[in-house]
Structure 1
Amino acid sequence: MTGVPGLRERKKQATRQALQSAALRLALERGPDNVRVEDIAEAAGVSPRTYNNYFSSREQAIVAAVAADRAAHLAASVTGRPAGTGLADTVIDAVVASYTDPGDQPRDALLMIATSPGLRACYVEAVTTIEDTLAGAVTARCPGLDPPTAEVLSAAVGAATRIALRRWLQATAVPPSMPGFVVPSGSLPELIRTALTPLAPALDAAGR
């Protein structure tokens, strides 16, 4: 039987999820600079050595929790849209919504990432995690679409989203009363929609 993970893989997934959740919770409680790898490992009930088998830094674990939640949110949005909606509108609206609705994560998780240089760099790269999830959702929505095409389109969506994120994070403002505190400016959903719009013809063609 294929497609069903074995016991060992399920345990690895559970450990990764526990580490991600612990990392994000501690970062929100204490601030990311006050969280150590040892703290995350202890909160997840594993050793620091086991932690290093999954993540190479605390930042990687923190952003993985947010990225994984948004990927799941995105897939549910794509598969849940009415059947008559075009693939472009479906995918673009779903990606934009994943950065508008916090899903299962606190609303300040993305702001925490935006205001931490280390987390920002990791998060932009972590967006690649949406690609496999999105490809699966697109294939489920359009059964006649061949998997390689779904993967190429999803990779293009991921690339456009990373560009929008970089532009959002680079356009920062420093409040005069709060030196050293960086706040992103501009609308992230608007930037994402603008970045994805050139992909609409290809998405709609694939959906037909």
Structure 2
Amino acid sequence: MHADSPPLPGRRELKRRQTRLALITAALRLTEERGADRVTTDEISAAAEVSPRTFFNYFATKEDALVGDPLEDCGAPVLPADRPLLDALLTALAPAFEQIQHDRELWLLRMRVIAANPQLLPLLIAAAASAEHRLATAIATHSGLDPDHPRPAVVAAVANAAVRVALIRWAESGDARPLIEHVREAFAILHDLRESR
């Protein structure tokens, strides 16, 4: 293992991640079959082979299991200080993109479920806003700016929009290009915009 690599998760943490993933998968599959209004937390728990009490150890509501923060295990991004901002963002977010790539079918299922159940959109927007705030904080630290300065929030919002476009293109393309390549392409466009007059 490389000296800079994060420690491997222990057995308990792996079990926690597996249970969380099983609950998310069950919630999404049942919702795709029946619609969000016709699925209960008891049914999700049964499909994931856990107790309803276990469900509520992970999620406050059924909707949290459907939308929530799917990249919870990636933690807050830490931008390398020795790289230009866009490169630092790409490096810091690469583990999240790798996780999405690894869980491609689950992400495609989540996108279908949200598209078919528009009542979930406010929760999705709230989750995205929370992630964007964490990213803005990391950008402020990287740039040496006060967290209240507008630049980190603007950069985080623009980067978030670029990632959203990349994610949609990756989901719809059906090609073999990994998500990270779509994100690099989107970030290159941001860089070009910065350089254009």
Q: Give the TM-score range, shorter chain.
A: 0.5 to 0.7
Q: Which amino acid aligns with 2:93?
A: V
Gaps spanning 5+ residues in structure 2: where? Answer: 1-16, 32-38, 46-51
3-state SS of 1:64 partner: coil
Give, in angstroms, the shift of residue 24 of structure 1: 3.5
1:64 paired with 2:68, answer yes
Match of 1:187 in 2: 178
TM-score by length of 2: 0.60
Give, in angstroms, the shift of residue 136 of structure 1: 0.3
Match of 1:161 in 2: 163
Q: 89, 92, 109: which one pairs with 1:91? A: 89
Give, in angstroms, the shift of residue 119 of structure 1: 5.0
Aligned positions of 1:126-141 closer than 5 A: 126-141=127-142
Give, in angstroms, the shift of residue 135 of structure 1: 0.3
TM-score by length of 1: 0.57
Return the structure number with greater relative CO, CA threshold 8 A, min gap 6: 1
Q: Deviations over 1:161-202 (max 9, x none)?
A: 110111111123xxxxxxxxxxx7532110011011232378
Match of 1:5 in 2: none
Q: Deviations over 1:109-140 (max 9, x none)?
A: x4212145115777985545431111001111
Q: Distance in 2 between matches of 1:115 and 1:133?
A: 26
Q: Distance in 1 between matches of 2:188 and 2:145?
A: 23
Q: Distance in 2 between matches of 1:84 and 1:25?
A: 39
Match of 1:171 in 2: 173
Q: Measured at CA, do residues 113 and 144 of structure 1 come closer, stay the same or move farther in structure 2, by a change above 3 Å?
A: closer
Gaps spanning 5+ residues in structure 1: where? Answer: 1-19, 173-183
1:32 paired with 2:28, answer yes
Q: Distance in 1 between matches of 2:102 and 2:155?
A: 29
Q: Distance in 2 between matches of 1:96 and 1:45?
A: 30
Q: Distance in 1 between matches of 2:113 and 2:182?
A: 22
TM-align CA RMSD: 3.8
Greater shift after overlay, 128-137 or 155-164? 128-137
3-state SS of 1:165 partner: helix
Match of 1:114 in 2: 108
Q: Deviations over 1:13-65 (max 9, x none)?
A: xxxxxxx996643234x47323744235643347x9x62xxx6x3xx523424
Q: Distance in 2 between matches of 1:34 and 1:23?
A: 16
Q: Distance in 1 between matches of 2:150 and 2:140?
A: 10
Contact preservation (8 Å) 2:24, 2:65: no
Give, in angstroms, the shift of residue 152 of structure 1: 0.4
Count of residue pairs brought into register by the alignment: 155
Q: Distance in 1 between matches of 2:54 and 2:113?
A: 22
3-state SS of 1:194 partner: helix
Greater shift after overlay, 123-132 or 154-163? 123-132
Contact preservation (8 Å) 2:166, 2:182: yes
Q: Distance in 2 between matches of 1:37 and 1:69?
A: 25
Q: Measured at CA, do residues 106 and 154 of structure 1 come closer, stay the same or move farther in structure 2, by a change above 3 Å?
A: closer
